[in-house]
Amino acid sequence: MPAFVVLTLVFCGVLGARLLFLRRQSDYKNAAFYKVLYTPVGFQLAIFGRRLFGRWISERFCELSGLAYALTHAETLAAIRNNMAMLDPTRASKTHAIRNCITQGYNFLEFAELWLKKKGELHRMIGEQIGLEELQKARAQKKGCILVTGHLGFFELGGPLMAELGFPMVTLTLPEPSEALTQWRAEFRLRWGVRTLVVGGDAFSAVEITRELRAGTFVALLADRPFNEHTVPIPLPHGEILFSTAPVMVALLSGAPIIPVGLTLQADGKHRVEARPMITPQWLPEGREATLHHFTQKLAQELTPMFVKAPEQWHHFSDLAVSRP
Amino acid sequence: MDPTKEVSIELLKGLLFENTMIKVDPQSINEETILFGEEGIGLDSLDALQMIVAVEKRFGIEIKDPTMARDALQSLKVLRDWIQLRLLSSPAS
């Protein structure tokens, strides 16, 4: 316990210094907080801290970190509130947005928990499981499968869980801010048998996606924060954001089905897993744009209710809105 | 070589415009135009994927890995030569 008090005091000291002497920056990716923590060292510190202090203290530290981050990043907090308001305006208060930062803090802790687990122990992190028979259906088709989710909950757990259930898994990611972090996260996933395919940096890396799918692999990717111009606007209950059309395009080109999936943290600390009904995009006579639009909206319709149920676990730290009512 | 699979720059240009999200004027593309990368015409990984599948469907040639894709899709001229070489060396030719 004294160690926790010392750590808290050091943390508060650093925070105070930051508040007094440093200028705030609008883009969270330029923030010192982000640059320091979003590195292999940041993740290793989380693992070290969890191992040293145990779960309870680590949780309190995550809460403190989330709170501190929220209180020192007014613009980011406003962006989080705006995003949450598109899902449910009654759950987009400052308190809810702070909670969003705290649950993101918990995600760091869950990385550490995952690191400390051995093979066969992963089920201890899993709570309610819904619709997993869809995954078995996709496996029986032997065309691979595209698992699509959003920045919801501790989505990183999905890959290891699938691998643990015996599905061959590849996670698609964009290059991280540093090569070292890209490598570290790839090695982290590989501990669980999940391979990483880095796309976006090289136009031809995407060739591997169709090769993996044709080999029957399950490929996981995120759709709710597109990195390029392949997007369509999709409606949320109280606004509109852009969704990537990449999953639908890859499905059309490879013949693999799409399964929308989501992971959210339950009140008991376990993770709820939900797989929605399979989507099998087909070219529509109206043409390519209409096809991409139709099936991407269909995908979004499956994912959006999961976001609405847990807005404080929908982690977007920049404003996503393309329009609001 | 299978005459139904004749390869011309115009045919490949057609494939490019039908299958990718290319946003440049067709007149500005010639056989030497670099398609991808920093010196290219703004095509990205999804465009590459669409072009690869289009080539597979039209010519029955599989582009198996990123290195092969990088070699084949430099420009329309390189792509034409690459496809012709494979069609000539395939058992059906």
- pLDDT on residue A11: 57
Does B4 map to a domain?
Answer: no
Q: Tell me, what DSSP letter sits at residue A268?
A: T
The CATH number of residue B45's host domain is: 1.10.1200
Is residue B59 within 8 angstroms of chain A, CB to CB?
A: no
Q: Are A261 and A148 in contact (CB under 8 A)?
A: yes
Domain hosting residue B72, numbered range: 30-93
A174 → chain B, closest CA residue: B45
Residues of B in contact with A211 (CB under 8 A): 64-65
Closest Cα in chain B, distance from residue A280 (Å): 18
Q: Do A204 and B37 touch (CB under 8 A)?
A: no
Q: Which member of A208, A211, A246 has the closest CB to residue B46? A: A246
Give the mean pLDDT of B28-45: 88
A255 → chain B, closest CA residue: B53
- pLDDT on residue A36: 67
Does B63 map to a domain?
Answer: yes
Dihedrals phi, psi of A319, to nearest 5 degrees:
-65, 125
Q: Are A106 and A62 in contact (CB under 8 A)?
A: yes
Q: Are A159 and A169 in contact (CB under 8 A)?
A: yes
Residue B85, number of CB atoms within 10 A of its CB? 12
Does B6 map to a domain?
Answer: no
- In order along its 325 residues, chain A shows pLDDT tens digits of 556 555 555 555 555 545 444 444 445 556 666 666 778 988 888 899 999 999 999 999 999 999 999 999 999 999 999 999 999 999 999 999 999 999 999 998 998 999 999 888 898 999 999 999 999 999 999 999 999 999 999 999 999 999 999 999 999 888 888 899 999 999 999 999 999 998 876 788 778 888 899 999 999 999 998 877 789 999 999 999 999 999 999 999 999 999 999 999 999 999 999 999 999 999 999 988 899 999 999 999 999 999 999 999 999 999 999 866 6
Is residue A215 within 8 angstroms of chain B, CB to CB?
A: no
Give the torsion sign (CA, A4, A7, A13, A17): negative
pLDDT digits (tens, 9 = 90+) for A215-240: 999 999 999 988 777 899 999 999 99
Residue B71: both structure tokens together: 């070699």
Residues of A in contact with B43 (CB under 8 A): 203
Of the candidates B8, B3, B13, the one whose C-alpha atom is nearest the C-alpha of residue B54 is B13
Q: Do A200 and B45 touch (CB under 8 A)?
A: yes
Does B91 map to a domain?
Answer: yes
Q: Alpha carbon of A151 to those of A60, A240, B8, B57, B79: distances in Å?
A: 23, 16, 45, 35, 39
Give the torsion sign (CA, B83, B88, B91, B93): positive
- pLDDT on residue A247: 94
Tell me the Cα Rg of chain B: 13
Q: Which member of A200, A204, A228 has the closest CB to residue B66? A: A204
Tokens 């499968």 correspond to A145
Q: Tell me, what DSSP letter sits at residue B64?
A: -
β-bridge pairing A239-244 and A258-265: unpaired
Does B12 map to a domain?
Answer: no
- pLDDT on residue A229: 77
Q: In degrees to the nearest 10, what's the CA dihedral of A296, A297, A303, A307?
A: 120
Q: Are A247 and A142 in contact (CB under 8 A)?
A: no
pLDDT digits (tens, 9 = 90+) for B37-92: 888 888 888 889 889 999 999 999 988 888 899 999 999 999 999 999 999 887 65
Domains contained in chain B, number: 1
Is residue B22 within 8 angstroms of chain A, CB to CB?
A: no
SS3 percent helix, strand, coil of chain B, rounded to 5, is 55, 0, 45
Residue A94, number of CB atoms within 10 A of its CB? 13
Residue B48: both structure tokens together: 């590459």
Residues of B in contact with A208 (CB under 8 A): 65-66
Q: Alpha carbon of A18 to those of A9, A39, A42, B42: distances in Å?
A: 14, 20, 18, 41
Q: Which member of B44, B53, B64 has the closest CB to residue A203? A: B44
Cα(A238)–Cα(A187) distance, integer angstroms = 39
Residues of B in contact with A172 (CB under 8 A): none
ipTM above 0.85, yes or no: no
Q: Do A206 and B45 touch (CB under 8 A)?
A: yes
* DSSP string of A93-159, one letter each residue: SHHHHHHHHHHHHHHHHHHHHHHHPPTT-GGGGEEEEESTHHHHHHHHHTS-EEEEE-SBSSGGGHH
Does B23 map to a domain?
Answer: no
Phi-psi region of B62 (alpha: psi -120 to 50; beta: other; left: phi over 0): beta
Q: Which member of B50, B53, B69 has the closest CB to residue A204? A: B69
Is residue A289 within 8 angstroms of chain B, CB to CB?
A: no
Closest Cα in chain A, distance from residue B57 (Å): 10
Is residue B53 within 8 angstroms of chain A, CB to CB?
A: yes
Does B15 map to a domain?
Answer: no
Closest Cα in chain B, distance from residue A207 (Å): 6
Does B2 map to a domain?
Answer: no
Q: Which of A202, A205, A207, A283 is the mutation pick for testing B, counting most B CBs within 10 A?
A: A207
